[in-house]
Structure 1
Amino acid sequence: MRGYNILMVEDDVVIGDILQKILQREGYNVCWKTNGSGVIQVIREMDMVIMDVMLPGEDGYQLSKRIKQLGLQIPIIFLSARSDMESKLQGLTIGEDYMVKPYDPRELLLRMKKMLEQHYGTFTQINHVYIDAERRRVFLTSLQHEVDFTAIERKIFFYLYDNRDRILTKDQFLDYLWQLEDRNPNIVNVHIKKIRAKIKDNEGIMIQNLYGEGYRLNTYNKKCN
């Protein structure tokens, strides 16, 4: 899945500029910091951290410990010129991976890809929404922000997703959801409205209402924020 939010903490401007361009070319959204200032303020929006160890002021190990103390399950890859075993062991204890500079960017990209897939699974991105169809989970903007659906809202959303780009009538919703229960078509409208609010689709771009026909979940209007 393209569009992961990557926090890169690197004080070397030359290295940082090259790495940022490489990551962006691969489809990642990169937030670059040259030290620990402002990291905690943005960390909840991030899906992975690429962390230099030797930083001005607070080093990468200390900064990563503060991130972990927030209780966020964000994978951290350390990049460091330190090649001694103690530094590697410390990095692997605090974070999830450790690479010694200089490194081949292709190796870093492969490690990132495998770690993101292992950590988050396989996702489909539609606009700003990330969908894990296998686990029936939905996230906004970042994989740290899971949508808090009720059971019925989740069922409706994934009924739309499983039939994406197709029009579903209210009768189809009622047959799928309520079967022999009270068939009040307005209840579909109520739940769709709540779902739209939770996924920040109040204008109905992603879940479209086709008057007189039904609802459709559109996948063709994709973008990365």
Structure 2
Amino acid sequence: MRGYNILMVEDDVVIGDVMQKILQREGYNVCWKTDGSDVLHVIREMDMVIMDVMLPGEDGYQLSKKIKHLGLNIPIIFLSARSDMDSKLQGLTIGEDYMVKPFDPRELLLRMKKMLEKHYGMFTQIQHVYIDAERRRVFLMSMQHEVDLTAIERKIFFYLYENRDRILTKEHFMAYLWQLEDRNPNIVNVHIKKIRAKINDHAGEIIQNIYGEGYRLNTYRKP
């Protein structure tokens, strides 16, 4: 589950420090805040929120309502010492999950994993690019940043992805894209250039030009 951006809002520095280290060890990118003062400034970069309920200033419920009102489809897991049913129901109404403190970090990690898979699907990460092959969607850095590909760009990208680490010639592309009215092989170059720009692959490390042969989508970083 590497690469997801997790916002953790926890005012207990001992719990926060331990959880940050555990999440980072699992490969998550953690943004830790001790209150909600500037949460809304970073929330659009996040893929999930781990939210303490009792916070200085606005509590976790109020803060989460503001996040939801922004129209962002970000799952929220509440952490709270409150174990009464009313508190649990309130948390599950506002957010997606609720855990009572103290908790076993292994349980939180498993719940996070299942929620992220359910919410975002299964992704392949290639450098800063996240690929959902099942839904044929591409994201940058965060699952909130979907790459806006045209129909033909999407078809070319996933043709490369389905044949990743293999060289595809222009003849391969022209045969695959036979329905194009413009049969000029240079049209492939034009579309790949646009795809590279959209996925911030200006150096051609992900979609590599193999001189005199064609293109290859690399699943590894060049040394």
Same fold (TM over 0.5): yes
- Partner secondary structure for residue 93 of structure 1: helix
> Is the deviation greater in 182-191 or in 118-127?
182-191
1:124 aligns with 124
Question: What secondary structure is seen at the aligned counterpart in 1 of 2:22?
Answer: helix
Q: CA deviation at 1:181?
A: 4.0
* Structure 1 letter corresponding to 2:140: L
Matched, 1:9 2:4: no
- Residue 183 of structure 1 and its aligned partner are, at CA, apart by 2.2
Match of 1:217 in 2: 217
Taking the TM superposition and a 5 Å limit, the aligned residue runs for 1:1-225 are 1-178=1-178, 181-221=181-221
RMSD: 1.2
Distance (Å, rounded) in 2 between the aligned partners of 1:6 and 1:139: 16
Shift of 1:83: 1.1
Label 1:180 to 1:46 Cα distance change in 2 as closer, same or farther (>3 A).
closer
- Partner of 2:72: helix, strand, or coil? coil
Q: Please list every run of at least 4 consecutive aligned residues from structure 1 whose deviation after the TM superposition is greater than 6 angstroms.
A: none
In 1, Cα distance between equivalents of 2:193 and 2:32: 37
Specify the SS of the correspondent of 2:146. coil
Shift of 1:180: 7.5
TM-score (norm 1): 0.96
- Rate the CA distance shift 1:40–1:180 in 2: closer, same or farther, 3 A: closer
**SS in structure 1 of the partner of residue 7 of structure 2:** strand
Is the partner of 1:49 in helix, strand or coil?
strand
For 1:155 and 1:179, locate their aligned partners in 2 and report how far apart those are by CA, in whole Å: 12
SS at match of 2:20: helix
Structure 1: any 5+ residue segments left out of the alignment? Answer: none
CA distance in 1, matches of 2:45, 2:124: 18
- Cα deviation code 1:23-74 (max 9, x no counterpart): 1111111000000022111111111000000000011000000000010110
Aligned residues: 222
TM-score, normalised via structure 2 length:
0.97
Counterpart code for 2:167: I
